[in-house]
């Protein structure tokens, strides 16, 4: 019996050493980077923004200071990928419901249709009740610029595509 305990202890020790010595993998920095005046690398940063959410409240980069947030782009009438994306975001929303550090920002790419009232109804449909998930609308040019320049995603209207966007 004592031999088994000693062997188990040795195996446990070896496993702890092997797995404990592995270095953490760092996430890559995406987007452009510059070299600052003092030789420091300056990585891509999301610029200032300000959009209205489903509760008619302004949401800006100041609200996100010190937070971890997931951002996406969608439109409420999207019949293709958006429902799948929202299912995955709902998993994040549910998992981190009590974690004040985590936020979700969903930017509409169809602000002409997706006004505050439509976003409020969409939030009800998804059972979004927490201020931790913001469905955002604003000027189309501002949303598209933020998507292209900051998040490196694009969208454009296309009457031939299902849902009207590509």
Per-residue tokens: 75: 């439109």
155 is a domain residue: yes
Per-residue tokens: 153: 């995603």
94 is a domain residue: yes
41 is a domain residue: no
14 is a domain residue: no
- For 1-48, what is each residue's pLDDT tens digit? 677 667 666 666 665 666 666 667 776 766 777 788 888 887 778 889
Residue 34 CA neighbour count, 13 Å, CB half? 5
Handedness of CA 159, 104, 68, 131 (dihedral sign): positive
15 is a domain residue: no
The DSSP symbol for 151 reads: S
What CATH number is given to the structural domain containing 52? 3.40.30.10
- For 107-158, what is each residue's pLDDT tens digit? 999 999 999 999 999 999 999 998 999 999 999 999 999 999 888 887 777 7
What pLDDT shows up at residue 34? 79
β-bridge mates for residue 34, sequence order: 42
For residue 63, give its domain range: 46-164
Residue 85 and residue 70 in contact, taking contact as beta carbons nearer than 8 Å:
no
SS3 64: coil
32 is a domain residue: no
Q: How many domains does the chain have?
A: 1
Cα–Cα distance list, 65 to 61, 68, 113, 123 (Å): 6, 9, 29, 24
pTM over 0.85: no
**In terms of Cα–Cα distance, which of 131, 142, 72 is closest to 107?**
72
62 is a domain residue: yes
150 is a domain residue: yes
């Amino acid at each position: 019996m004592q031999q088994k305990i000693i062997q188990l202890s040795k195996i446990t020790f070896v496993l702890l050493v092997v797995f404990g010595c592995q270095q953490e993998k760092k996430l890559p920095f995406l987007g452009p980077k510059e070299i600052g005046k003092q030789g420091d690398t300056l990585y891509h940063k999301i610029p200032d923004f300000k959009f209205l959410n489903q509760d008619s409240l302004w949401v800006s980069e100041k609200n996100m200071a010190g937070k971890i947030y997931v951002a996406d782009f969608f439109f409420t009438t999207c019949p293709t990928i958006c429902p799948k994306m929202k299912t995955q975001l709902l998993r994040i929303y549910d998992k981190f419901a009590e974690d004040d550090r985590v936020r979700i920002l969903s930017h509409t790419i169809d602000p002409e249709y997706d006004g505050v009232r439509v976003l409020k109804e969409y939030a009800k449909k998804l059972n979004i009740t927490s201020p931790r998930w913001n469905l955002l609308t604003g000027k189309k040019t501002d949303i598209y610029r933020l998507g292209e320049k900051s998040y490196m995603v694009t969208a454009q209207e296309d009457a031939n595509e299902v849902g009207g966007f590509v």
